[in-house]
Structure 1
């Protein structure tokens, strides 16, 4: 019977356990626990962990449900030497001390905010919680002024545990590298490790995005993203955001013409994206992600196919969808199309004008910088859910 880890990528504690498994080269079965679906509250899970938290490690007949204990167990059992968790009682005590520091201070002070936002629906980060995080940064600086790592002059499991918590703390409260130079140097070293890149970075980002989304939801009663703030102005529809940015920051009006007739043609295609392209892609993403459907309904696929036909017709009239030059309507349509082509096979021979337009738009630097990564994440997420 192999090692199993019940986990959630967004959890700092679970990330620490996964990093330790990687460090000690322990093959394991990763079992994602969907808290939103209540999988942590099932009788089977509660039998493993009455506190219904993640992570939970199973190794044969042993079940452990605290990340710090999991790290000490893995180091003792699978470590090739004792550098990560010394057998010398004094050296071990120093590592243990910092594991408890992470549990009681770093992790707990980050959780104060994440719990208040995610579980209690708070729309602001309380200043008292931010002050406690600032104090924790000071504790880290003091420790790292004594040793190169937080418990010794070499890396130990205490650093791994602290890393997972710190990587969330710095997203919850501004971290001043000049004020805490030792901590900044340590954090940079730890973030560059292969185990961090493999098992921490993705979950750190997921938690940060979730908290940010929930904090911003009061600014948008529809609780959708994106939300743009520019001074006292708050906008929560991407199409409106594009028109505002073009009008306010555009160096000329080529992206969004001031000529009323030309502008109307761009607006027409922005509404086309909103009502047709984006909406028809969302039919499928919503049904899979929010409703738990395990197949893409044919009626939704047919609607996407029809949308391809609309695009081909528009692009048979102009080089871009609203003019013979690129406009914000193309940018908006690009983001929707880049998801649609992954949901329903796109036949380039059937839609050659659209294929040529899509190739041009995908080659742009702004697409590569801000669209491609997110497109990949959505598709991977959908594929995982459809195959589950």
Structure 2
């Protein structure tokens, strides 16, 4: 029996999976789920997916509610993995990295479309427009090195990205003079039969809807958007060069949950890392030297020889695959792995919700977050409680990478919106189990206390 795929072609993530199924000849049963009719909020749908997101895949007893995990799962189980999702560890890590990049791009598009459609914000702020155009800059840098986004062959990362970028381009035109490689890549993707058959119709329907809600479509001159990137303190090449003998370099911000999750894994697997602290408040991550390592200027960053990874979740899976003593933290079984991957993408959601509170406080002086932002943080516990209703750990009956990643983020959220043990007993029990582990005590506790002290100076909670 073919897997059931719940989708609405208005949604770029849905279209990405549809394109992949067409390209890889993967049979699925399409179940139309109208977002505008709130069919994803029905009692029946919520029983399968408490996060009420679309798309959703149902394959027997397995339910996946993240488009990126659906893509990797379907490709692994039903499709041709090469070259769409390479077996080679480094090549696969590069594909995974771009899938997480797409998740970030999606949030920046949604920061324009959601307020327009549901809150009446017809003209988005310069800040959110700049944030979207910045993604075009990142993509241009990726494509300056390779023909496709994760290498010289088309992969599921290209399919995932073209779905959302085709909609982003309907809002803010990707300038061919400023981003020539990105436009050339888009044109190559647009030629593909799967793009024509599975992306065009939904894209055009969404564009027509957005025309009724947005006053900016195609009327933004991106040449007028000036970036105000303060390079801050510069670290000399000599300082970076001191560490050339080490193979594995990890650039961290100890207060960051993402960095702490990688440190916990390294402790569990006994991996020797050359730790390089990045001065975030000195804006060292914005210096030209750091941007050569990671154009996205995010932290942490792992450098392993000629491979650079700039997403904590991909760093976790890569290190486990390469250095893990067994497969318990990230099993080889495709279903078990999909459940872990799903929670790693869940971590990207709750991390962004946390950052929606902390970043404006630290960067813009917004000392009191809105009630809406605090409610969204509180909702994190609703989701984790649901996940833990049937299992001891966040993705099963044993500790996995998902617990490290989600645990580090939840420990920080707890300092913003305290976890209520009576209301969320299973989440509280899971969290207490993590707190007792030696890796948590050694690698999460110190950084957590540091960031908690910093946030006290910036937030009125």
* Structure-2-length-normalised TM-score: 0.46
Q: Residues of 2 paired with 1:95 and 1:214: CA distance?
A: 34
1:157 to 401, 415, 421: 401
**Could you say which residue in structure 1 is the equivalent of 2:280?**
35
SS in 1 for 2:308: strand
SS in 1 for 2:364: coil
Q: Residues of 2 paired with 1:40 and 1:114: CA distance?
A: 17
Structure 1 segment 358-377 matched on structure 2, within 5 A: none
Q: Residues of 2 paired with 1:40 and 1:202: CA distance?
A: 21
Q: Residues of 1 paired with 2:429 and 2:256: CA distance?
A: 24
Post-superposition offset of 1:216: 5.3
Answering whether residue 367 of structure 2 is matched by residue 123 of structure 1, we say: yes
Q: Residues of 1 paired with 2:348 and 2:334: CA distance?
A: 21
Q: Residues of 1 paired with 2:370 and 2:454: CA distance?
A: 17
SS in 2 for 1:160: helix
Q: Residues of 1 paired with 2:355 and 2:460: CA distance?
A: 19
Q: Residues of 2 paired with 1:216 and 1:31: CA distance?
A: 32
Partner deviation per Cα, 1:11-33 (whole Å, 9 max, x = no partner): 11111111111111100111000
Q: Residues of 2 paired with 1:144 and 1:190: CA distance?
A: 14
Answering whether residue 252 of structure 2 is matched by residue 7 of structure 1, we say: yes
Post-superposition offset of 1:215: 2.4
2:302 to 51, 57, 61: 57
Structure 1 segment 316-331 matched on structure 2, within 5 A: none
**Could you say which residue in structure 2 is the equivalent of 1:190?**
434
**Could you say which residue in structure 2 is the equivalent of 1:274?**
none
Partner deviation per Cα, 1:44-86 (whole Å, 9 max, x = no partner): 2101111111100111221111000000001111111111001
Post-superposition offset of 1:206: 1.0
Q: Name segments (4+ residues, structure 1) moved above 4 Å.
A: none
- Show structure 2 runs of 5+ residues with no match: 1-245
SS in 1 for 2:440: helix
Answering whether residue 321 of structure 2 is matched by residue 76 of structure 1, we say: yes
SS in 2 for 1:110: helix
Q: Residues of 2 paired with 1:136 and 1:216: CA distance?
A: 21
Partner deviation per Cα, 1:225-278 (whole Å, 9 max, x = no partner): xxxxxxxxxxxxxxxxxxxxxxxxxxxxxxxxxxxxxxxxxxxxxxxxxxxxxx
SS in 2 for 1:36: coil
Higher helix share: 1
Q: Residues of 1 paired with 2:393 and 2:264: CA distance?
A: 17
SS in 2 for 1:5: strand
Structure 1 segment 83-162 matched on structure 2, within 5 A: 83-104=328-349, 106-162=350-406
Q: Residues of 2 paired with 1:54 and 1:22: CA distance?
A: 19
- Show structure 1 runs of 5+ residues with no match: 218-388
Cα RMSD for the two superposed structures = 1.3
Q: Residues of 2 paired with 1:175 and 1:36: CA distance?
A: 28
Post-superposition offset of 1:159: 0.3
Post-superposition offset of 1:124: 0.7
Structure 1 segment 333-352 matched on structure 2, within 5 A: none
Aligned pairs, number = 216
Larger Rg: 1
Q: Residues of 2 paired with 1:194 and 1:126: CA distance?
A: 36
